[in-house]
A = this chain, B = another copy of it.
Amino acid sequence: MADETLVEGDLGWMLGASFRGYAKAAGHVLSGIPGGPRGYQLLTEATSDTPANQGTLAQRLGIDRTVLTYLIDDLEQAGLVERRPDPADRRQRRIVATAKGRALREDRHTALRAMEACLLAVLGEDASTFQALLCTLARHLNSADHHIDLCSIAESLDDSPR
């Protein structure tokens, strides 16, 4: 079925195409949140019982800390989150969702899940299996200590002419 000589068989293409397709649909569902899907993810983190500081959030969301500052600014101006100085270390700021932010997140969470079901419908009963495997992979690749491993692996494989 799959032609191995075409890009459709490339793992990088599969991940990219899936991500682009998801982002396009999610962009519509989450257009009411500053920053779109990224703002939604930040809002989600801000509803945690143990809110993270900005450095941790930047690493978790895969963005630069300077970019995160602007993103938080937008969400804060919209009244969705607030910066709370950490009493134990006043350099750090915990990002916490407001009541308005929690309500909006909950509402969009429901809509997002419905959209995801439409997207994953093509996988049939294997959709939950796929999500479980993807979750394992994503957590593995996003762990800070694994980033080092990936680089060393990649470099050891990169023995081609430059």
Chain A residues with a Cβ under 8 A of chain B: 2, 5-29, 31-32, 37, 40-41, 44-45, 47-49, 60-62, 104, 107-108, 111-112, 114-116, 118-120, 122-123, 126, 129-131, 133-142, 146-147, 150-151, 153-155, 157-162
Copies in the complex: 2
Q: Evaluate whether A19 and B21 lie within 8 angstroms (CB atoms) in the complex, with A32-B162, A160-B32 already known.
A: no
Q: Are the CB atoms of A44 and B7 closer together than 8 Å?
A: yes
Q: Are the CB atoms of B12 and A142 closer together than 8 Å?
A: no
Q: Measured between C-beta atoms, what is the minimum distance from A79 to chain B in Å?
A: 13
SS class of chain A's interface: helix, strand, loop or mixed?
Answer: helix
Pick the residue among B6, B26, B112, B158 that contacts A28 (CB under 8 A): B158
Q: Are the CB atoms of B15 and A22 closer together than 8 Å?
A: yes
Q: Are the CB atoms of A135 and B44 closer together than 8 Å?
A: no
A5→B31 CA distance, assembly (Å): 21
Q: Are the CB atoms of B18 and A134 closer together than 8 Å?
A: yes
Q: Are the CB atoms of B134 and A15 closer together than 8 Å?
A: yes
